[in-house]
Amino acid sequence: MTDFDYIAIGWFALAWIGFAALTDGRFAVRRISLSRAMNEQRRLWMRAAAQRDLRMIDTAILAGLQHGTAFFASTTIFAIGGCFALLGATEQVLSVAGDLPIPLVADRTVFETKVFGLIAIFAYAFFKFGWSYRLFNYSSILFGAIPMRGDLLDDPSKLESGADRAADLNILAGQHFNAGLRAIFMSIGYLGWFAGPYVLMGSTTLVILVLLRRQFMSNARAAILKDTPQS
């Protein structure tokens, strides 16, 4: 490990934290991010669903969100298992790396340290997906607890408050899901460290630029915010 390695991993952590804060709205920016725009759509969805007498489609959507979260949680478990398998084959990996024309890490201790870092990233993603899955489950329960519109003719405000309560938990579940997905994206940039600190800084910067474009300048963002006032 050299000073450049520490600088590169510091840049990796700073870029990750800064991007998360930027997309979650913790920094004052003029352009709303895709994630924040979707949070508002989640709230509008819950309020619209509360006005419906038949909510089977909405429960199907909630189930789909849960299934997608479970898929990524199981994927991170496989990724962690693959990393441990990589640790068991360190000698073979280093032997292959020595024959490649690109300068991959050739020291056993450094290689294993970097693999443990990759395991930590996937473990973080797993816990985020696992908590997101549970929050989507709670959100489904709160959605089921929203009373029927015909039962609240004397106090319609309870209908909106119930929808907002379910929306708040759904938004929180979505934020944790996004954090887990962000960790998977950043793990792609982290792989550059195996080729050296300069490659890590370059791959991290490339990943962040791609994610920034998707959050603030993508066609998906434009479609979601079409005819919607921006805040």
DSSP state letters, 134-155: HHHHHHHHHHHTSPPGGGGSS-
CB atoms < 10 A from the CB of 52, how many? 12
The amino acid present at 19, given as its one-letter code, is F
User: What does the pLDDT read at residue 105?
Assistant: 61
CB atoms < 10 A from the CB of 172, how many? 17
User: What does the pLDDT read at residue 92?
Assistant: 75
User: What does the pLDDT read at residue 96?
Assistant: 64
Whole-model pTM? 0.88
Q: What average pLDDT values come out for the chain (231 residues) when binned by 10 residues? A: 88 94 79 90 90 88 92 94 85 67 69 90 96 94 85 72 91 95 95 88 95 92 76 45
Chain segment 180-218, per-residue pLDDT in tens: 999 999 999 999 888 888 999 999 999 999 999 999 999
Q: What tokens does 3 get?
A: 């000073």
Place of tokens 């793990």: 187
Each domain of the chain, given as residue ranges in start order, spans 3-23+55-224
Report the candidate in 227, 228, 225, 226 with the shortest Cα–Cα distance to residue 35.
Answer: 225
User: What does the pLDDT read at residue 124?
Assistant: 96
State how far the Cα of 127 lies from the Cα of 73, in Å rounded to an integer.
Answer: 8
